[in-house]
Chain A
Amino acid sequence: MMIRGAARAAAVVGASFLVLTLAACGAKQPPVARPTPPPPPAPAQAPAVTPPAPPEPVAEQPPIVPPEPMQESSLGSASLDTLNRTSPLKDVFFDFDSTQISSDGQAALQQDATLLKQYPTWKITIEGHCDERGTAEYNLALGERRAAGVQAYLVSLGIPADRMRIVSYGKEFPFDPGHDEAAWAKNRRAHFVITSK
């Protein structure tokens, strides 16, 4: 499930590659010569996907090290514009008329928290968004509650509240202008914008 999602995201946005490798990097740094475990607490089949370290002539040289410092430094040095275009922080999606953070959403926020701890100077805005089926006025409140819920969850993961600002956009800025369930599902979300670093 998670692997499939990650693969799809990578196919859609090249930048997702950056997130995956980054997360891998973050998780991998303490141990030295072992293969990278997948970023979040993984289901049983996850280790099977990560190739067990094949017999390599030189055991001291893990093959995936080279790209990571590059990625890391590009994240660290990228302009805010570039950074936000690549959206390194994962959005959280909501059910209809709901402000509950699903297990998928919690998993995304755990990754986001890891990244935010890795870049402790980043400040972010959490945007709350709604689909078009509610009224414009009430959706301002619903979007507020979604953003506030995400902020509270990140606080519970150790991110200081003063690094985060919340803004509700109600249904004013749909990510998908369509009028069907596929569009609505994309539009019910908390979206992250990095505002300073």
Chain B
Amino acid sequence: MTKKALFLTLAPLLAFALSGGAQPPPAAPAQPAAPPQQPSEIGATITSGAIGAPPKYAVPDFIPLTTDPETEAAARTIGHVLWDDLNFEEEFYMIPRDTYQTVPAAHGFTDVPFADWAQLGADAVVVGTIARDGTNFHVQVRLFNIRTQQSVFGREYTGPTTNPRFFAHTISDEIFKQQRGLRGVARTKIAFASDRDAERMPGFVPDRRVKEIYISDYDGANQRRVTVGRTLNITPAWAPDDQSIAYTSYRLGVPEIFRSFIYRGTIAQMTHGPSQSFLPAWSPDGKQIAFMSDRDGHDNIYIMNADGTGLRELTHGSSINATPTWSPSGTEIAFTSDRSGSPQIYVIGVDGLGLRRLTSESYCDRPTWSPAPYNEIAYASRTGPGFDIKILDLETGKIRQITFGQGSNESPSFAPNGRHLAFVSTRTGHSEIFTIGRDGKGLRQITTKGSNYFPNWSN
């Protein structure tokens, strides 16, 4: 089938899949526009009263200014989602929400009960209002320094009522940016493969469950399917602009790399046989992909431009060379090779020079290079009957272990700020996606339906 014919066949299906779900369309259309900063805002950082301690934040429910149930529900949702979002980076001490009963509810920004918040020990409180305007919510938010009673941060947003959580995620990312100079990840997503719909693959072998690509908010909310191949679709990789996902698809019978533009509902074939292609990895600038193929008769790493031109073989020989990942600078690629007799992690320049071996363990795979500012590679390492996630610091050569033998733990993928990892674990008895901090803390389960594999965190 030609590329164009495929596009024509699949585009309506995909469009249907995207519009057919109960969930609102993700991201782009719902993006509230941030107006200019409020005149009253002073860009001060809120610190803790105690030296060395993180500032203590309180996030009560937002204040509904219109009294319909949807607005009232959204006001509560934004409050608790924002609390979770701000808790995620462990930059602030988040005062538990079940201790707020002693604090009288404010009606707006002019009657914030600073003394009551101070009594709870808060250094900062986030106060927000929400009003309904047709199919939109209008949200205003201030971050107050309890000691000075000054607003240090103010924003207004207007956006569709369909996804109140997105207001909270946007506010959280803005607060991290302003207060910590930190790139928050509350608006990021995780792509993964799942068999949760229990569809069977058509073909000559019965009872094979298809896997399709799904996306989820970073916190597990809004999970939705983005492919309709009725085949094996695995190893998703977000393009750096997050508008499309490349993945390994068996829709033509042999594995090829396809790319779904998930917000447009279109699909493009990136590799065109006759051999097999797997495991796409985007260069940081989005202009190239690295992938594994057997087109020379062996499993080797190839690089090509995203439009399919400029194909070249990066590794050579008859060993297995698999699972590429790009360095943040785009100048090197880490990959797995069994050239020593067992699968280990190697690095090679994109010019094919400077090959070096990084691991000498029992069995290592799925290297994934951390974004800046960290210079680390996470990977799965066999530690017993199963695997655990480890992180190698390229600066010091030190390796630290992140998971410890609860189930098998595989397929790490870094969050775009490098502070978290998504991975697969069988610790619950099924294969599920989890996230965890790069320090091994803050484990969170993202999926619960079906079996789930190959997480890839968006940018």
Taking CB atoms, residues of chain B closer than 8 Å to A167 are: 250, 253-255, 276
Which of B276, B323, B366, B424 lies at the interface centre, i.e. has the most chain A CB atoms within 10 A of its CB?
Answer: B276
- Given the interface pairs A84-B204, A142-B320, the reply to whether A136 lies near B454 with Cβ below 8 Å is yes
* Alpha-carbon gap, A39 to B186, bound state (A): 65
Is there contact, CB below 8 Å, between B232 and A137? Answer: no
For A, the interface residue count at a CB cutoff of 8 angstroms equals 28
Q: Which of B208, B211, B323, B385 contacts A137 (CB 8 A)?
A: B323
Cβ < 8 Å to B, chain A residues 138-197: 138, 140-142, 144-145, 148, 165-169, 172-173, 191, 193-195
Is there contact, CB below 8 Å, between B320 and A141? Answer: yes
Which of A84, A135, A169 lies at the interface centre, i.e. has the most chain B CB atoms within 10 A of its CB?
Answer: A135
- Given the interface pairs A138-B336, A138-B343, the reply to whether A169 lies near B232 with Cβ below 8 Å is yes
Is there contact, CB below 8 Å, between B320 and A138? Answer: yes
Is there contact, CB below 8 Å, between A165 and B205? Answer: no
Is there contact, CB below 8 Å, between A193 and B204? Answer: yes
Q: Which of B211, B250, B297, B321 contacts A148 (CB 8 A)?
A: B297
Which of B234, B321, B454 lies at the interface centre, i.e. has the most chain A CB atoms within 10 A of its CB?
Answer: B234
* Alpha-carbon gap, A167 to B343, bound state (A): 21
- Shortest distance in angstroms between A6's beta carbon and chain B's nearest beta carbon? 23
Is the C-beta of B411 less than 8 angstroms from some C-beta in chain A? yes
Is there contact, CB below 8 Å, between A137 and B366? Answer: yes
Is the C-beta of A81 less than 8 angstroms from some C-beta in chain B? yes
Taking CB atoms, residues of chain A closer than 8 Å to B433 are: none
Taking CB atoms, residues of chain B closer than 8 Å to A136 are: 234, 410-411, 424, 453-454
- Shortest distance in angstroms between B222's beta carbon and chain A's nearest beta carbon? 25
Q: Which of A133, A141, A165, A193 contacts B292 (CB 8 A)?
A: A141
- Shortest distance in angstroms between A47's beta carbon and chain B's nearest beta carbon? 37
Taking CB atoms, residues of chain A closer than 8 Å to B421 are: none
Closest B-chain residue to A173, C-beta based? B208
Is the C-beta of B279 less than 8 angstroms from some C-beta in chain A? yes
Interface string of A109-137 (1 = CB under 8 A from B): 00000000000000001000000011111
* Alpha-carbon gap, A140 to B69, bound state (A): 51
* Alpha-carbon gap, A135 to B385, bound state (A): 12
Which of A81, A85, A133 lies at the interface centre, i.e. has the most chain B CB atoms within 10 A of its CB?
Answer: A133
* Alpha-carbon gap, A191 to B278, bound state (A): 20
Q: Which of B203, B204, B292, B380 contacts A140 (CB 8 A)?
A: B292
- Given the interface pairs A135-B411, A138-B320, the reply to whether A168 lies near B204 with Cβ below 8 Å is no
- Shortest distance in angstroms between A14's beta carbon and chain B's nearest beta carbon? 17
* Alpha-carbon gap, A84 to B208, bound state (A): 14
- Given the interface pairs A145-B320, A167-B253, A168-B255, the reply to whether A134 lies near B363 with Cβ below 8 Å is yes
Taking CB atoms, residues of chain A closer than 8 Å to B363 are: 134-135, 138
Is the C-beta of B212 less than 8 angstroms from some C-beta in chain A? no
Q: Which of B204, B234, B254, B321 contacts A80 (CB 8 A)?
A: B204
Cβ < 8 Å to A, chain B residues 263-298: 276, 278-279, 292, 294, 297-298
* Alpha-carbon gap, A194 to B278, bound state (A): 23
Interface string of A60-95 (1 = CB under 8 A from B): 000000000000000000001100110000000000
Is the C-beta of B156 less than 8 angstroms from some C-beta in chain A? no
Taking CB atoms, residues of chain B closer than 8 Å to A144 are: 276, 294, 299
- Given the interface pairs A166-B276, A173-B208, the reply to whether A138 lies near B322 with Cβ below 8 Å is yes
Q: Which of A80, A137, A145, A165 contacts B365 (CB 8 A)?
A: A137
Taking CB atoms, residues of chain A closer than 8 Å to B276 are: 144, 166-168
Is there contact, CB below 8 Å, between B365 and A135? Answer: yes
Can you list 10 residue pairs at the A/B interface with Cβ under 8 Å? A134-B365, A137-B366, A137-B454, A141-B323, A148-B297, A166-B294, A167-B276, A168-B255, A169-B232, A195-B253
The 10 closest A-B pairs by CB, nearest first: A84-B204, A135-B365, A141-B322, A138-B365, A141-B299, A141-B320, A137-B323, A140-B278, A137-B366, A193-B204
Residues of B within 8 A of A (CB): 203-206, 208, 211, 232, 234-235, 248, 250, 253-255, 276, 278-279, 292, 294, 297-299, 320-323, 336, 343, 363, 365-366, 380, 385, 387, 410-411, 424, 453-454
Residues of A within 8 A of B (CB): 80-81, 84-85, 125, 133-138, 140-142, 144-145, 148, 165-169, 172-173, 191, 193-195
